Structure 1
Amino acid sequence: MADIGLVGLGVMGANLALNMAEKGYSVAVFNRTTEKTDAFIANAGSLAERLTPCKTLTELAEAVEPPRPVVIMVKAGEAVDSQADILAGHLAQGDILIDAGNANFHDTRRRVKEFADRGIDFLGVGVSGGEEGARHGPSVMAGGKPEAWARVEKIFNDIAAKFEGESCAALVGPEGAGHFVKTIHNGIEYADMQMIAEIYGIMRDGLGMAPAEMAEVFDQWNNGPLKSYLIEITAAVLGTTDPKTGGPLVDIILDTAGQKGTGRWSVIEAQDLGSPATVIEAAVAARSLSSQKEQRVADEALFGAAPRKIGPALGDRNSAMIILEEAMLAGKIAAYAQGFAVMAKASESFGWDLPLGTVAKIWRAGCIIRSAFLDDIASTYEADGAIRSLMTVEPFTGMLKATHGSLRRVCAEASLKGVPVLALGSALGYFDFARTARSTADLTQAQRDFFGAHGFERLDEPGKVAHGPWSNA
């Protein structure tokens, strides 16, 4: 009999099934359209002998060894509810439903309770790494009961990416904790990608660099502190030639970016928790603005194109590249500090006790934001789990002290010449506000009291609610 079942043979589901089969597990598979199941088996090669195609959910349930673990890989939202409800009718008490798609963690928390009433365990498992990761080793963030995770832990450990021999899979908390961590991972991914895009914009529009030149720079950066999957693929993308035109492929790609919702979810949760994630917010906004192509074209005609040419303002080419590298490192520190602060706040608010050091460790390989940077984060949290902000601990404090000047210079020059830097600018603003001992919120509090009698606290009378003499003004 099969070790595990899997429902949904889209790109991610099919590749997870092949990954499991390759690691020696027998997998029963089902897809709503049997043609897709047949095609999947036909293309599985030698792995087909470990795959059991099922035409009905009854067949699937009968094919998996009890207590049955079954992975659901369908579109987030109502599709998961519908599929899980139907599938549960074919399962028995003690079986496990595993949602390994991109789910809203609120939905996962609800499903855990609903299926517990039916005697079925529900695991919400975040899987990162895209198509390639699912096939050869993703980062796996699980949430649910430890007993349920223990029954499938070996499977997920075996299929997960490895970092220095250590599996990038872990139970990070109960209920929806796994999907929450995956959501914040994606939010940080948005921020990382947007900051890279803004540096690319400065190189292209501000410095007049060709894609091939930029590819060389990003390739060099991938050997330094910015070493990461996203920097690596940026070099590859910029160095790719379009076979149709013979020119750089990036030059003929429509400049409108898509999004599937996890970035917005991360921003919403950060706002609800009262934990600022301004760099992620800026990245989400940038994608939305990018989709407004017609309006942007019209507004450029209305207001005139910005000069954009930065020229020698950042020094010679070598100096400019150093400044841009340092600016991106400073922005990255701020973005990750925000993301981990949001997770810390969620852990406190929901009583999850998220192991943030473990989260950083399982992100070091397999996932989209994998980078050498995360090794430092993992070590930092393992040394002290009660970190107020990554910006305030070494080695990140030292990095910021050394690089925030470059971030300031890049944002200033870009702003003067009209090169958009939404994410980098947000990172700089966040850093500056965070290190301002006396902010301007005293005026905000006075205004709130003036129009709404909300009260304020006096510096010379701490702990007391005071009001201003506005009626006499």
Structure 2
Amino acid sequence: LDVRMISGRKQEREEAAKILAAPTIAPADKEQVVGDLRAALYASKVCSYAQGLSLIRAASDEFQWDVNLSECARLWTGGCIIRAELLDRIMKAFVENPTLPNLMVDNFFAAQLNERVTAWRRVVALCVTSGIACPSLCGSLNYFDTYRRARLPANLTQAQRDFFGGHTYERTDMDGRFHTAWTTAHKDIGDTNQRVEGEHLQT
């Protein structure tokens, strides 16, 4: 939606192009780029379906809809705007494993993604260094990288929230919740949030 909105602001973009610097685009191997784009597009499509089906499953579990994801994929092949040959293999994945937590961990699709991920990264990196927006390819890769990691930077986000709002944070090296007086101003204000047992004041 952001891309569609910005795309409609052509006059603004034309003026911005005169003001905001663009990077120098380095030469690239056209044949490799085309091959990488094919791989990146396939991987991104798989991630898009994976994320969408994961959301449908979550809603189904929450509201007890009892959605059959293999049947959902089959229905999409019948004329939906997102129909694709890929849906036949998606349907098979959920027939073989109805409790599959995410399409990306199906044996077939995991192998397909692992085979293409290096090319996918090259495409996104090339777009970024060339100043070419690629929200779908980049967003799908972020979803892939977020899902595949056992540890995420959530503790850093908590620390940032503690800095501006005193919300406390957890650490990866010890149990408990912590609050830090990050600056002199924080020390002067004091801890305005009531902490519960197990929290520690770090200065």
Normalising by the residue count of structure 2, what TM-score does the alignment of the two structures yield? Answer: 0.80
- The match for 1:336 is 49
Instruction: Give yes or no for contact 2:43–2:112 (8 Å, CA) kept in 1.
Output: yes
Select the structure that is richer in strand: 1
Larger Rg: 1
Counterparts in 2 of 1:469 and 1:293: CA distance versus 1, 3 Å: closer
Select the structure that is richer in helix: 2
- For residues 157 and 36 of structure 2, the distance between their equivalents in structure 1, rounded to whole angstroms, comes to 36
2:6 pairs with one of 289, 312, 317: 289
Matches within 5 A, 1:191-340: 284-303=1-20, 307=24, 311=27, 313=28, 315-317=29-31, 319-340=32-53
Counterparts in 2 of 1:306 and 1:448: CA distance versus 1, 3 Å: closer
Structure 1 residue identity aligned to 2:38: E
- For residues 22 and 165 of structure 2, the distance between their equivalents in structure 1, rounded to whole angstroms, comes to 43
Shift of 1:333: 1.3
Aligned length: 184
- The match for 1:379 is 92
Shift of 1:469: 4.6
Structure 1 residue identity aligned to 2:45: K
Normalising by the residue count of structure 1, what TM-score does the alignment of the two structures yield? Answer: 0.36
- The match for 1:398 is 111
- Aligned-residue CA RMSD in angstroms? 2.2
Shift of 1:461: 5.9
Shift of 1:310: 5.5
- For residues 285 and 449 of structure 1, the distance between their equivalents in structure 2, rounded to whole angstroms, comes to 30
1:352 alignment partner, SS class: coil
Gap runs ≥5 in structure 1: 1-283
- For residues 414 and 460 of structure 1, the distance between their equivalents in structure 2, rounded to whole angstroms, comes to 37
String of CA shifts for 1:377-415, please: whole Å, max 9, x gaps.
111111222222111112110011001111110111121
Shift of 1:355: 1.2
Shift of 1:443: 1.6
1:395 alignment partner, SS class: helix
Instruction: Give yes or no for contact 1:357–1:380 (8 Å, CA) kept in 2.
Output: yes
Instruction: Give yes or no for contact 2:70–2:94 (8 Å, CA) kept in 1.
Output: yes
Gap runs ≥5 in structure 2: 182-186, 188-201
- For residues 428 and 413 of structure 1, the distance between their equivalents in structure 2, rounded to whole angstroms, comes to 14
- For residues 289 and 407 of structure 1, the distance between their equivalents in structure 2, rounded to whole angstroms, comes to 25
Matched, 1:351 2:64: yes
Mean alpha-carbon deviation: is it higher for 443-452 or for 379-388? 443-452
- The match for 1:425 is 138
Structure 2 residue identity aligned to 1:323: D
Counterparts in 2 of 1:451 and 1:418: CA distance versus 1, 3 Å: closer
String of CA shifts for 1:116-174, please: whole Å, max 9, x gaps.
xxxxxxxxxxxxxxxxxxxxxxxxxxxxxxxxxxxxxxxxxxxxxxxxxxxxxxxxxxx
1:434 alignment partner, SS class: helix
- For residues 367 and 327 of structure 1, the distance between their equivalents in structure 2, rounded to whole angstroms, comes to 23
Instruction: Give yes or no for contact 2:43–2:120 (8 Å, CA) kept in 1.
Output: yes
- For residues 166 and 98 of structure 2, the distance between their equivalents in structure 1, rounded to whole angstroms, comes to 40
- More relative contact order in 1 or in 2 (CA 8 Å, sep 6+)? 2
Shift of 1:376: 1.0
Shift of 1:459: 4.4
2:107 alignment partner, SS class: coil
Structure 2 residue identity aligned to 1:355: N
Counterparts in 2 of 1:430 and 1:369: CA distance versus 1, 3 Å: same
Structure 1 residue identity aligned to 2:11: E
Instruction: Give yes or no for contact 1:357–1:378 (8 Å, CA) kept in 2.
Output: yes
- The match for 1:468 is 179
Aligned-pair identity (%) = 34
